[in-house]
Structure 1
């Protein structure tokens, strides 16, 4: 895996960890309502999915970081596989996000395009 793909993979993974923080700890903040497409009265109803999705993002983010780490201090094949699974998953998840809620098209691009860059840069 080339250095460019590794840097982008780390960025993808760090964004996922940041999203975990936002979804788990701050989903009820009014400033974030537009990101999550919720209103004040929706907060109690969305808490469960926000926390659950947040922890999915944490797991994916940590797996991506572990994959890059393994490229350097462990088994490079395992590290490459982890990074590719994380990024390929987020290419698909970005597409699903767009299909399920078109108003989140920018979030869908932000989720899928950097991950696609990693996949293409790795497999090219």
Structure 2
């Protein structure tokens, strides 16, 4: 993996972890309403899903960072595969977000953009 791909993969991982922490622990904060679209009266009802989705993102972010660490520890194929899996997942999940909730189109693009760039750099570059 090129240095650029590794840097972008770590950035993507850190962003996923940060968003996951917000989803898991700050979903009740109405300052984040534009991101999550959760009304105050619905926070108890959506707790199960927001916490789980948050931890999915945290785990995917950790995988992306671990892939870079593995690649730099001599396990290049394994590391590259882990990074590619993170990127494929989030490229798809960003599109699903746009399709399932059009008001979150910007979040969907944000979720997909770096993973698509990374995949392009990995496989077309």
CA distance in 2 between partners of 1:79 and 1:103 (Å): 35
Q: Give the paired residue count.
A: 124
1:26-85 Cα distance to aligned partner (Å, 9 max, x none):
111111122101111011111111000011001101110000001101411000000000
1:72-124 Cα distance to aligned partner (Å, 9 max, x none):
01411000000000001100000000000010000000000110000000112
**Paired position in structure 2 for 1:27:** 27
- Name whichever of 82-91 and 28-37 sits farther off: 28-37
CA distance in 1 between partners of 2:96 and 2:30 (Å): 25
**Paired position in structure 1 for 2:86:** 86
Which of structures 1 and 2 has the larger relative contact order (alpha carbons within 8 angstroms, sep 6+)?
A: 1
TM-score by length of 1: 0.97
Q: Which runs of 5+ in 1 are unaligned?
A: none
**Paired position in structure 1 for 2:8:** 8
The 4+ residue runs of structure 1 with deviation greater than 2 A are none
**Paired position in structure 1 for 2:57:** 57
Q: Which runs of 5+ in 2 are unaligned?
A: none
